[in-house]
Structure 1
Amino acid sequence: MNNVQIESVMLPFGQKIVHDYINEYSKTAELYPYHPYEQESYERRLRWLSEHPHANRAALADGLLAWNTSVGNTHERVRENIEALRQPDTYAVVTGQQAGVLTGPLYTIHKAITALRMAEEQQKRLGVRVVPIFWIAGEDHDYEEANHVYVQTKGGDVEKQRLNHEAAGRTSVTHLVIPQDALHEYIDAFFAEQIETEFTGDLKAHLHTFAKESATLTDFFARTLVWLFGEAGLILIDSAAPFVRVLEQDGFAQVIRRNEELNEAVAVQGQKLTTLGYHRQVETERSSAQFFLYRNGERSGVERLVDGTFRTRDGAVYTEEELLTLLAHDPESFSANVVTRPLMQEWLLPVLAFVGGPGEVAYWGLYARMFAVFGLAMPPVVPRLSFSLLEGAVQKNMRKFDLSTHDVLTKLTEKRDAYLAAQDTLHLDEKFAEVKQQMKELYMPLIEEASGIEQGLRVLGEKNLDKILEQVDFYAKRSQSAFVKKHESSLRQFDRIRTALFPMDKPQERVYNIFGYLNKYGVEWFREFRSYPYDVTSEHLAVRVE
């Protein structure tokens, strides 16, 4: 790549289960059937898939073709990949994310890149067709998570920009109609905080076109992803699409009939997690039915009662047979939750591997026993690639302070403090401490002698000494403040590095949005970034961008 240079850095993982899964797999082997970075895992998974063929490939391909066409994903490679799914020897690397405005945080982009790379990698290694699929979790109703992005403003602050539209109730994002005016206003507000570049006009024009063609946030999200990844062959699927519900009917029927077994499996696996010393990422009650029903336009949770009936959050009660009848006549009334979504993916798609973020990797540790209940096998769960984008200004400041990539990603505060300490050639802190100690040593004998004259002079002398030392501390603080002010320009440069890489004290990829970078560096840069032949490993990738 001409414009992108890559450096690998090992970073710690925040969750113990993810660290052990990646670095000490044997500790987690009871939870995850496959090691994510051993090729034998994918060879074994391929054998299992070939022995358990998917029955609905033709209907799946028809549905995918129609839905992708509806959101403009008509690129030749996409059509070829969808058509390939009709064949029994084509498999998929699946990733996904809830639909978010302007594609949400950077990690959404990183998931798609990982799925593309992994599909390419495994197709070569296994000698079978492997296609990348992005699962849009359109049935989710967490609108507050999807309706905003954070931007670094022209003034250098980090600001939350929220879509000016309120959602009533628990409506799935796919079913939530967004006024086009709100989308257009949002696009303009986003770019109002960006520096005008040669790329700004084109980006805004594309996004405004997508807004005109979109009735929902899922539409807008999908069309934007198509523009960024369609030519690379990324297939999109909306979990709330009607054809998906039809193909999931048998899966929901099994979940209804074997609901108690499902929950028992999850509970037992949860106990195993705890026994092994891990935190349960997903807390779920044994009474949860692990699916939702759409009632009066809202997504309502369902619980299983002790008498075997099912009750929705709004109080409606169904027998098992009534639910099965509703499923047969109106499959779109049903919606998976965080527990049953992996099952639905498995029933629907020939999943060679699932790509997820650290949180997803952690909660998949609950599922292996659940898969087995239904005669399925949990796929390899692969941590998505993680990136930090090091822009030119950041690189310049790194060179100025002789900071390595490892330094800025793991110990920036320590390096900042060390730099400041190195500038203190007068060693003021030590000198003020010495002066205070000398004052004590000179004054205390005098207090002792004076107290021999009158005992009350001891208390007065000690108070007097405290006041003197307070004045020394005051002067020391003023001197330290002046010292810091003298070097505030350099300290601001350290702060700019932090704001670029750890906005709001979080990793860059969890906060910023890809369009801030597209505005500065253009779509051609992004194509190179997207297409680089990354190895799918656990190493963090620092990308130098000019």
Structure 2
Amino acid sequence: MRLEKLRLPLSQKLTHDYVYDYNKVSAFYTYEPYLQESWQIRHQKLRNRTFTHREQLVEGLRSYNLSIGNHANAIENIEKLRHDTTYAVVTGQQAGILTGPLYTIYKALTVLQVAREQAEKLGAEIVPVFWIAGEDHDIDEANHVYVMDGMEPKKLALDFADAKRASVSHLTVDAAQLHGYIDEFFALQLPSEYTVELKGKLYEFAGLSSTLSDFFARTMAWLLGEQGLILVDSASPFMRELEKKGFSRIIRYNEEINQRVLAQGERLLDAGYHMQVETAGDNAQFFLYREGERVGVERLPNGMFQTRDGRERYSAKQLLALLDENPEQFSANVVSRPLMQELIFPTLAYVGGPGEISYWGLYKDYFELLDLDLPILLPRLGFSLLDHTVQKHMNKHGLSLQDIFFSLHDKREEALKSLDTIGIEDRFAAVRGEFEKIYVPLIEEVESIEKGLFTLGQKNLKRILDQVAYYERKVEMSFINKNDVVLRHFDRIAAELFPMDKPQERVYNIFGYLNRFGMDWFEQFIRYPFEITGDHIAAFMD
């Protein structure tokens, strides 16, 4: 595997500046991410904090990870969290079918790499944690993957017709349903020496899983557990117990938290950025579970709280009592989830995607209100995997990585133009120009005979030029058909690296690549000591 780095503009302007020009955004964050001094300062601050619930955390993590069949190395890392000198690097993602888009794997790979790297640099025990956002109810994001079908990505969705606003961790699935989905996925893959093993493993996990989140967790544990990755489902009962302290603060400081988040958002807007998270001043920043669905909660002007459907109303005191008795009824949202993570795990750093890094820019002031500071926020590693076919087409047409990512369309047009030995566009333009040069003076002269002849001549000229244009299109189509192979080379590159005009890592799924390259490749990939920078990595597959 050969690697090349390139600097790509990030999808969020705030995150782009965070990565490449931190001084512009330092007012919105606590630590500069690629400065080792930041890690040392954060490490020291964590050493001065006490996490009295470590035993409870370890027992919950241990029970959960054993239940999903995680590797002994992950269990060993969990045991390390009993000690006050062990810290965590955390990432997270909603549970997706077959692990969802590639970037889910890249997030996990990043925390594994960072934990290893910083353990050595800081001389401390640091464990990698993957937070499964099982509470999320965005089913349309979690229920599908894309598979390349010819030159077009094809969406394969698992049907959850009655899901409504149920959390992913509560979405029940049965083995037959998952088996059918697995069969459909691999039916669109070219059979390889790895296909039978991969399908067998996924069938096994399907038979052991009762929810989509469970299927996701077992698959992730198989892929990454040997590397020591700890998995945690945020919807687990033991997590609700540990989140009591966080929800209590959200309830008691609700108005002040919202004020700080909104004020920070205004400062971001004034600085030329936009708020990644749209939130209102009356948003209570948590949900309540009602009849299996997550229902938003709002704060009323009189200080009371009510569910957004208007059915239930609570005082802060009543909510705190409900929290104490039934914490499983509460669920965090995008604003409160980072607080839960900060209070539960001794978090050295959080690894996120561009959008996540951007929305964390709203939280610094509200963390400070609660006597906390943001962890180090590290953008996940980003990759593009270039297979043999893409590399062959690049070599044939002399394309560099810069050409591929910044001017592929222009290079495609240049390649076509180089094959056009007669100069179709220029020749036809010249013919039209010459004809108009001869014909226009003629119809102007005959106007002296009869005025109507000039108008008739203009119409006649237009018909002739339309016929020339029609013939030109026919010639161009014939030329394109003759050189279809070249166009397909460029289309294949685009389909592989920019499906649906999106980055590869946001569309395709890891199992398509496991089926092509096997588990040996994957194990080498996740163990490779990638340098942690904001640059994108192109991996040329052997």
Tell me, yes or no, if structure 1 residue 36 matches structure 2 residue 38.
Answer: no
Matching residue within 202, 217, 221 for 1:207:
202
Deviation, 1:33, is 1.2
Cα separation, 2, equivalents of 1:144 and 1:167: 12
| Percent identical residues | 53
Match of 1:71 among 68, 71, 76: 68
- In the alignment, structure 2 segments of 5+ residues that lack a partner are none
Which residue is 2:491 aligned to? 495
Partner of 2:372: 376
The CA deviation at 1:169 is 2.5
Q: Which residue of 2 aligns with 1:223?
A: 218
Choose the corresponding residue for 2:337, options 341, 355, 358.
341
Equivalent of 1:257 in 252, 258, 274: 252
User: 1:164, 1:186 within 8 Å by CA — same for their partners in 2?
Assistant: no
2:475 to 460, 475, 479: 479
Shift of 1:132: 0.4
Native 8 Å contact 2:194 2:515 kept in 1:
yes
Matched-pair contact (CA < 8 Å) for 2:151–2:491: no
1:11 aligns with 2:17: no
Q: Does 1:441 align with 2:437?
A: yes
Task: Tell whether the 8 Å contact from 1:93 to 1:133 is kept in structure 2 after alignment.
Answer: yes
- Give the AA of the match of 2:102: L
State the alpha-carbon separation in 2 of the partners of residues 377 and 365 from structure 1.
Answer: 12
Q: Does 1:288 align with 2:275?
A: no
Which range moves more in the overlay, 460-469 or 234-243? 460-469
CA contact (8 A) 2:132 2:231 kept: yes
Distance across 1 between alignment mates of 2:163 and 2:432: 64
Between stretches 274-283 and 467-476, larger displacement belongs to 467-476
CA distance in 2, matches of 1:189, 1:448: 69
Return the alpha-carbon distance in structure 2 between the equivalents of residues 289 and 268 of structure 1.
Answer: 16
Partner of 2:27: helix, strand, or coil? coil
Of 504, 508, 525 in structure 2, the residue corresponding to residue 508 of structure 1 is: 504
Q: 1:536 aligns with which of 508, 532, 535?
A: 532
Deviation of 1:233 (Å): 0.2
- Contact kept? 1:310, 1:320, Cα under 8 Å: yes
Q: CA deviation at 1:156?
A: 3.7
Which among 155, 162, 168 is matched to residue 167 of structure 1?
A: 162
1:100 paired residue number: 96
Structure 2 counterpart of 1:59: 56
Distance 1:231 1:473 in 2: 64
Quick check: 1:447–1:458 contact (8 Å CA) kept in 2? yes
Deviations 1:218-262 (A, max 9, x none): 110000000000000000011111111101111111111110111
Q: How does 1:212-361 map to 2 (within 5 A)?
A: 212-314=207-309, 315-361=311-357
1:323 partner letter: L
Contact 1:7–1:541 (8 Å) recurs in 2: yes
Query: What CA deviation, in whole Å up to 9, does each residue of 1:305-356 have, x standing for no partner?
Result: 1111110123211111111111111111111000000000000001101000
Distance in 2 between the 1:480 and 1:69 partners?
A: 63
Q: How far apart, CA to CA, are the structure 2 residues paired with 1:65 and 1:487?
A: 60
Q: CA deviation at 1:157?
A: 2.9
2:413 paired with 1:450: no
1:161-204 CA deviation, whole Å, 9 max, x = no partner? Answer: 11133233311111221122111111111111111111111101
2 CA distance for matches of 1:333 and 1:385?
35
Quick one: distance in 1 between partners of 2:357 and 2:336? 15
Residue by residue over 1:370-421, the C-alpha shift from the partner in whole angstroms, topping out at 9 and shown as x without a partner, is 1111111001111100000101111111111111122212221111111111
Match of 2:396 among 397, 400, 410: 400
Distance 2:188 2:456 in 1: 61
CA contact (8 A) 2:287 2:296 kept: yes
Report the residue type matching 1:243 in the other structure: F
1:132 alignment partner, SS class: strand
CA-to-partner distance for each residue in 1:88-118, whole Å, 9 max, x for gaps?
1111110010001000000000000001001
SS for the counterpart of 1:459 is: helix
Please name the residue that 2:118 is paired with: 122
Secondary structure of the structure 2 residue equivalent to 1:343: helix
**TM-score w.r.t. length of structure 1:** 0.97
Structure 1: 4+ residue segments shifted above 2 A: 164-169
Q: Cα–Cα, structure 1 residues 169 and 460, in superposed 2: closer, same or farther, change >3 Å?
A: closer
Instruction: State the SS of the aligned residue for 1:543.
Output: strand
Helix, strand or coil for the counterpart of 1:285? coil
* 1:82 partner amino acid: I
Equivalent-residue separation in structure 2 for 1:212 and 1:414 (angstroms): 50
Query: Quick one: which amino acid aligns to residue 455 of structure 1?
Result: K
Asked if 2 retains the 8 angstrom alpha-carbon contact of 1:257 and 1:320, the reply is: yes
Alignment size in residue pairs: 541
Aligned AA for 1:264? Q
- Indicate conservation of the 8 Å contact 2:134/2:169, yes or no: yes
Cα distance per residue 1:487-533 (max 9 Å; x no partner): 11110111011111111111110000000011111111100111100
